[in-house]
Amino acid sequence: MKIDIKHIAKLANLRLKAEDETKFEKQLNEIVAYVEKLNEVDTKGVEITSQVTGLKNVTREDKPAPSLTQEEVLSGTSSKHNGLFKVGAILEE
Amino acid sequence: MKLNELTIKEAVEGLKGKKFSSVEITKACLSQIEKHNPNINAFLTINEHAFDEAKKADEARESGSNTSLLGIPIALKDMYLTKGLRTTAASHVLENYIPQYDATVVQKLKDAGVVILGKTNHDAWAHGSSGENSDFEPTKNPWNKEYVPGGSSSGSAASVAADMAIASTGTDTGGSIRLPASFTNTVGLKPTYGLVSRYGIIAMASSLDSIGHFTKTVEDSAIYLNVTAGNDPMDATTTKNKTPNYLEDLNEGIKGLKIGVPKEYFTQGLDSNIKKNIEGAIKKFEELGAETVEISLPHTEYSLACYYIIAPSEISSNLARYDGIRYGNDRTHFGDEAVRRIILGTFTLSSGYYDAYYKKAMQVRTLIKRDFEQAFEKVDAIISPVSPTPPWKIGEKTDDPLAMYLSDALTVTANLAGIPGLAVPSGFIGDLPTGFQILGPQFSEKLLFRIGHAFEQTKERRVLDI
Amino acid sequence: MEYQVVIGLETHVELKTKSKMFCGCSADYFGLEPNTHVCPVCLGLPGALPVPNKTAIEWCVRIALALNCKISSVSKFDRKNYFYPDLPKGYQISQYDQPFGLNGWIELKDKRVRIRRVHMEEDTGKLIHADVEKNRSSLIDFNRSGVPLVEVVTEPDFENTQQVTEYLQKLRQTVRYLDVSSADMEKGDMRLEPNISLRSNTTNTTNRSNTTNDLDLPPYKVEVKNINSFRFVAKAIDEEIKRQSEILDRGETPEQETRGWDEKKGTTVSQRTKEESHDYRYFPEPDIPPVILTGDQILNIKKQIPELPDEKITRFMGKYKITDYDADILTRERSIADYFEQAVKDGSKHKLTAKQIANYIINKKPDIEKTVPAELAELILSTRGTTEISSQDLKKAIEQVLLECPKAVEDYKSGKTQVLGFITGKVRALLPPNASTEGIRELIEQALK
């Protein structure tokens, strides 16, 4: 199976230069060809493992705990305004 | 012996016996760092408060404090969030990031009294097996600077090997502690998944990330694990079990233990020198009274393919938060390997491909886990090589990502199964170290330390004369 | 051309838990300084991990049970991956194929609406559009990020707008009865997204022709977002139906897309640019172990469900002998229903009937916060249920009596003042039984002059 690099990059919110697209496409298609080795394995009736801990029902009590201060929250960026994070306008239409 | 060459055990004994102070050990480490880091590039950030922390540790010891790592200088892999101290993930994306909170493990280590020397270099986002994917130049192997120290925890391994730090932290998602440990003559523990909290450690692949460490000896590794292991209410995947004292069985010896040798790990691809070395280790185990048994882990050949679907899938999701809005630089700052894994992972999860790749891999994972469960019904532990090849020259594999991935073939299995692995030094091939790994059932760290310690006692620890 | 309306609803209910879904930040965020109820987890900082809120899960199950769902014995969380500035992790923790509740229903007056699923997820931050120093910007507040949401999805069973509004009112009422949310659309703690399409017997609107069964859904549906107020629900849906009819009239098929309700324009507007790539790449959330509920645990949660409106109405009608109309009003809010029952209990000591109490509460609308039920009885007694009579009606009644009883008038005028009592009684008889008779004697005296 070949990767549609342009489509996947968009899904992944990555902007690739044209020459990188070609480079990655070649490398990734090699990797994909390798991982397709799994098709050799008979997995009929085999349950999936998405967690190895065997844990279940891990929850916390509904009790409020201290939050970060507004200053701490905003400390990671210089793009802010009146206590809010600021980004370029997101078009709705 | 210089103070920075001490083990944790020796340092603690000396501090207790007032033979030297934490300030002196810390000074020795900082001086070693100053001298050698420019050539080795193990550290990305030095903690400017290290000296003050050492002073405070000495004062605390004066007032009667006796915490297990009081005054011991350690280094932290730059995937661990440290409040107020720059944390980069070795990536341009977080080049200037100052975290607002400490990882749980960092807090535990601080509570145990450590002195933080600084943050170590690694493959960016822990993506790599050699350290060469760092956005800030690779770390060199202190034993031969033309060679890789292994990755992804390259800087942490090198810092301990070069006696810049008494111990250091790492992460192991597909071998990232065990591989560099075996390349640098250090002891590296990958604990059972869920034994040590992941909270505050930058996530690579959430169901595979294991939080471990590098030390100079097996006993040190157990002392350290006593601090970091245990449930964390901030991490829903941590064990609910009460954790034991990991030093308990250290000196029990290995008489009567059954140690499995998986035949699938000794295929043609395995370097003949490494094979010889492991066979030597196996003989040693037999001399010490253990019974070695050939076992089979039939799905070994599929482990790498399984890993390189599951890991990138989870990576692609875990790296989605780095959009430059709330912290860090935007996504154009990702390096090539990160981009590759994000794209691969996005693809394997995408509509129409999920069943063929991610779901299939999750099923194969069940089979790999089962292989180990069945093996551990026959044997107490498993011994195997860590890397199919000895350390390679810097630059040798960087053009071929797939070739790089193949170095993980023998280590990813433990992450897929969620079991612990202890990498123990077992000699040299030329001037470069080699080692083996001991794998055990989930939560069998005490047993791994027991076996590793028994082996370790049979030879002199070689200290690097850098 | 006449079309059959096919609507399915997705409703989000914000739970009023004390803390957020996956972290300990306070969930009570409304109207606060921005970015003050935020922590590493709900801000999506590196290394942060989610731990689910036990109460939120129980309340989600409560809602699912109240909607007659089957509760999954094994449920899990999944990651829904997409990029948007108000989504700090770049994924939302939600539920995909193993939600807490499945296959329930809700009864409307003349229809049973099937509930496809009830699941748990986390809310996003809030995006505000503003001009900052002359530049169009989007500003983000993460106080709301991570607040627990329960999503209720129906089958496309709605046939008209009235059913939709009735459903919303019923859902809101149910959720308030369960005391898990205030479900106030204006405040954003209940949000609605209808999926609307039209069906006729022509080929461009049906997959098959003539048969009306479940599988005959139109080959498109339009999702409408951004309906932020209860009063716009009907209008937005009607407008969208109108828009789709016009397209179908032309012989075309409406495009499958997401549209936003624009209050100012009074129409729906295409949001195509925002919704380009819908591939959410769902996979099981590795950071959260599955939730396994035993039959006993589900039963315990069920026990905590109070008597719900439908049951209560039936019981009130039977027990208190009131009409379904009155019972409906009295059960609109659980607080009023409970108040009514307590007042009946207290009132019975004073020989007041349930009907009297019901009437008083319905007509007089006493402040149930300020007037304790026991006081209510006394209030009714003291005024005998003062129904205000307009002075005009009073005057009319008096005039009528004076006209009908000339002898009494003559008697009064000749000094037999005790006949006033007789005249007053006659006037009272013309008025409603609980009319206020304050000052009535004075008015009659005046009229007699």
Mind listing the domains of chain B with CATH numbers? 3-456 (3.90.1300.10)
- Phi, psi torsion values for B242, nearest 5 degrees: -75, 135
- Beta carbons within 10 angstroms of residue B447's beta carbon: 20
Beta strands B115-120 and B73-77 are: parallel
- Catalytic one among B91, B129, B154, B176? B176
Per-residue pLDDT band for C215 (boundaries 50, 70, 90) equals low
CA-nearest of B62, B178, B57 to B111 is B57
| Predicted confidence (pLDDT) per residue in B124-142, tens digit | 999 999 999 999 999 999 9
Which distant-in-sequence residues (6+ apart) come within 8 Å of C392 by Cβ? none
User: Partners of B332 in the beta sheet?
Assistant: none
Residue-wise DSSP of C195-222? EEEEE-SSTTT-SSSS--STT---S--E
Percent of chain B exceeding pLDDT 90 equals 97
- Residue C207's pLDDT is 45
CA-nearest of C278, C43, C11 to C119 is C11
Inter-CA distances, C436 with B18, C430, C449, Å: 96, 13, 23
Tell me how far apart the alpha carbons of residues B230 and B210 are, in angstroms, rounded to a whole number: 13
Per the CB < 8 A criterion, the answer to whether B290 and B452 are in contact is no
Per the CB < 8 A criterion, the answer to whether C163 and C292 are in contact is no
Per-residue pLDDT band for A93 (boundaries 50, 70, 90) equals very low
Which distant-in-sequence residues (6+ apart) come within 8 Å of B1 by Cβ? none
Residue of A nearest to B368 (CA): A49
Tell me how far apart the alpha carbons of residues C74 and C70 are, in angstroms, rounded to a whole number: 12
Per-residue pLDDT band for C210 (boundaries 50, 70, 90) equals very low
Assess whether C49 and C146 both reside in one domain. yes
Tell me how far apart the alpha carbons of residues B431 and B37 are, in angstroms, rounded to a whole number: 20
> Between B236, B321, B349, which is nearest C283 by CB?
B349
Q: What is the mean pLDDT of chain A?
A: 93
- Catalytic one among B22, B77, B129, B156? B77
Question: B110 an active-site residue?
Answer: no
**Residue C144: DSSP 8-state:** T
Tell me how far apart the alpha carbons of residues B143 and B431 are, in angstroms, rounded to a whole number: 7
If you count residue pairs, one on A and one on C, with CB atoms under 8 Å apart, how many are there?
142
- Residue B251's pLDDT is 97
Assess whether C173 and C285 both reside in one domain. yes
B51 touches chain A (CB under 8 A): no
Mutating which of A48, A63, A80, A84 best tests the B interface, going by the most B Cβ atoms within 10 A? A48
- Residue A91's pLDDT is 59
- Phi, psi torsion values for B103, nearest 5 degrees: -60, 150
Which distant-in-sequence residues (6+ apart) come within 8 Å of B339 by Cβ? A14, A16, A20, A24
| Predicted confidence (pLDDT) per residue in C161-200, tens digit | 999 999 999 999 999 999 999 999 888 899 999 999 999 7
> Between C139, C142, C269, which is nearest A81 by CB?
C139
Per the CB < 8 A criterion, the answer to whether A62 and A56 are in contact is no
Beta strands C222-225 and C190-199 are: antiparallel
**Structure tokens given for C197:** 């399409």
Which whole number is the average pLDDT over B392-403?
Answer: 92
Per-residue pLDDT band for C376 (boundaries 50, 70, 90) equals confident
Q: In what order do the strands lie in the sheet with C78-81?
A: C91-94, C78-81, C283-284
C429 touches chain A (CB under 8 A): no
| Residue C28: domain span | 3-303
| Predicted confidence (pLDDT) per residue in C323-355, tens digit | 999 999 999 999 999 999 999 998 888 788 899
Assess whether C51 and C127 both reside in one domain. yes
User: Partners of B262 in the beta sheet?
Assistant: B295
- Phi, psi torsion values for C113, nearest 5 degrees: -100, 130
Tell me how far apart the alpha carbons of residues B412 and B421 are, in angstroms, rounded to a whole number: 11
If you count residue pairs, one on A and one on B, with CB atoms under 8 Å apart, how many are there?
147
| Predicted confidence (pLDDT) per residue in C54-104, tens digit | 999 999 999 999 999 999 999 999 999 999 999 999 999 999 999 999 999
Binary contact (C283, B346; C-beta < 8 A): no
Assess whether C254 and C276 both reside in one domain. yes
What is the gyration radius of the CA atoms in chain A, in angstroms? 23
- Phi, psi torsion values for C172, nearest 5 degrees: -60, -45
Assess whether C293 and C220 both reside in one domain. yes
Assess whether C181 and C289 both reside in one domain. yes
**If you search the block for the tokens 């001298």, which residue do you land on?**
B35
**Residue B442: DSSP 8-state:** T
Which whole number is the average pLDDT over C241-250?
Answer: 93
Cβ-in-10-Å burial (0-12, 13-18, 19+) of C84 comes to middle
Q: Is the torsion defined by CA of B10, B16, B20, B25 positive or negative?
A: positive
Binary contact (B346, A37; C-beta < 8 A): no
pLDDT over threshold 80, residue B60: yes
**If you search the block for the tokens 């505050």, which residue do you land on?**
B200
pLDDT over threshold 50, residue A3: yes
Q: Report the range of poorest mean pLDDT among B124-128, B424-428, C255-259.
A: C255-259
Element (H, E) at B376: helix B360-378
Helix (H, G, I), strand (E, B) or coil at B281: helix
Per-residue pLDDT band for C206 (boundaries 50, 70, 90) equals very low
pLDDT over threshold 50, residue C211: no
Which distant-in-sequence residues (6+ apart) come within 8 Å of B124 by Cβ? B89, B90, B91, B133, B134, B135, B335, B337, B338
Which of 354-373 (B) contact A at CB < 8 A? 356-357, 359-367, 369
pLDDT over threshold 50, residue C279: yes
**Residue C155: DSSP 8-state:** -
A36 touches chain B (CB under 8 A): yes
Measure CA B42 to chain center.
14
B9 touches chain A (CB under 8 A): no
| Predicted confidence (pLDDT) per residue in B271-284, tens digit | 999 999 999 999 99
Assess whether C212 and C112 both reside in one domain. yes
- Residue C276's pLDDT is 52
Q: C279: which chain B residues are within 8 Å (Cβ-Cβ)?
A: 350-351
Which of 12-41 (C) contact A at CB < 8 A? 17-19, 23-27, 33-40
| Predicted confidence (pLDDT) per residue in B308-347, tens digit | 999 999 999 999 999 999 999 999 999 999 999 999 999 9
Per-residue pLDDT band for C421 (boundaries 50, 70, 90) equals confident
Assess whether C137 and C175 both reside in one domain. yes
Query: Phi/psi zone of residue C145: left (φ > 0), alpha (ψ -120 to 50 degrees), beta?
Result: beta
- Residue C369's pLDDT is 86
User: Partners of C260 in the beta sheet?
Assistant: C225, C269
Which whole number is the average pLDDT over C297-305?
Answer: 96
SS3 content of chain B, % helix, strand, coil (to 5): 40, 15, 45
pLDDT over threshold 50, residue C208: no
Query: Phi/psi zone of residue C87: left (φ > 0), alpha (ψ -120 to 50 degrees), beta?
Result: beta
Helix (H, G, I), strand (E, B) or coil at B63: coil
End position of a domain, from candidates C254, C277, C303: C303
pLDDT over threshold 60, residue C209: no
Binary contact (C79, B317; C-beta < 8 A): yes
Assess whether C339 and C200 both reside in one domain. no
- Phi, psi torsion values for C13, nearest 5 degrees: -115, 125
**Residue C24: DSSP 8-state:** S
Q: What is the mean pLDDT of chain C?
A: 89
pLDDT over threshold 90, residue B1: no
Q: A61: which chain B residues are within 8 Å (Cβ-Cβ)?
A: none
pLDDT over threshold 90, residue A29: yes
Tell me how far apart the alpha carbons of residues B21 and B70 are, in angstroms, rounded to a whole number: 11
Q: B339: which chain A residues are within 8 Å (Cβ-Cβ)?
A: 14, 16, 20, 24
Mutating which of C91, C122, C287 best tests the B interface, going by the most B Cβ atoms within 10 A? C287
Q: C-alpha dihedral over B450, B455, B458, B459, to 10 degrees?
A: -120
Assess whether C122 and C235 both reside in one domain. yes
Helix (H, G, I), strand (E, B) or coil at C41: helix
Which of 48-87 (A) contact B at CB < 8 A? 48-53, 55, 58-60, 68, 72-73, 75-77, 79, 85, 87
Beta strands B210-215 and C283-284 are: unpaired
CA-nearest of B20, B19, B21, B51 to B34 is B51
Binary contact (B97, C279; C-beta < 8 A): no
pLDDT over threshold 70, residue B416: yes
Beta strands A84-88 and A80-81 are: antiparallel
B406 touches chain A (CB under 8 A): no
Strand ranges inside C100-211, DSSP E: 101-107, 112-122, 126-132, 135-141, 148-154, 190-199
Per-residue pLDDT band for C394 (boundaries 50, 70, 90) equals confident
Assess whether C362 and C406 both reside in one domain. yes
**Structure tokens given for A92:** 């709705």
More confident residue, C203 or B96: B96
Mutating which of A23, A25, A28 best tests the B interface, going by the most B Cβ atoms within 10 A? A28
Binary contact (B198, C81; C-beta < 8 A): no
Inter-CA distances, C33 with A83, C30, C142, C357, Å: 8, 9, 11, 45
**Residue B165: DSSP 8-state:** S
User: Residue-wise over C373-411: b if at least 16 C-beta within 10 A, else e?
Assistant: beebbebbeeeebbbebeeeebeebbeebbeebeebbeb
- Residue C416's pLDDT is 86
User: Residue-wise over B141-165: b if at least 16 C-beta within 10 A, else e?
Assistant: bbbebebbbbbbbbbbbbbbbbbbb
Tell me how far apart the alpha carbons of residues C360 and C344 are, in angstroms, rounded to a whole number: 11
pTM: 0.91
End position of a domain, from candidates C303, C322, C351: C303
Element (H, E) at B337: helix B336-349
Per-residue pLDDT band for C201 (boundaries 50, 70, 90) equals low
Binary contact (A77, B340; C-beta < 8 A): no
pLDDT over threshold 80, residue C277: no
List residues of chain B with CB under 8 Å from any CB of chain C: 81, 87, 89, 94, 97, 99-101, 103, 198-203, 206-207, 233-237, 313-314, 316-317, 319-323, 325-327, 346, 349-351, 354, 358
Binary contact (B328, A76; C-beta < 8 A): yes
Domain count across chain C: 2
Assess whether C134 and C249 both reside in one domain. yes
- Residue C437's pLDDT is 64
Q: How far is A84 from chain B (nearest CA, A)?
A: 10
Question: B176 an active-site residue?
Answer: yes
End position of a domain, from candidates C303, C327, C355: C303
pLDDT over threshold 80, residue B224: yes
Per the CB < 8 A criterion, the answer to whether B115 and B57 are in contact is yes
Mutating which of A10, A20, A21, A35 best tests the B interface, going by the most B Cβ atoms within 10 A? A35
pLDDT over threshold 50, residue B14: yes
pLDDT over threshold 50, residue B68: yes
Binary contact (A83, C51; C-beta < 8 A): no
Which of 237-296 (C) contact A at CB < 8 A? 260, 269-271, 273-274, 277, 279, 281, 283-284, 286, 288-292
Which whole number is the average pLDDT over B45-52?
Answer: 98
Task: Tell me what ipTM this predicted complex has.
Answer: 0.97
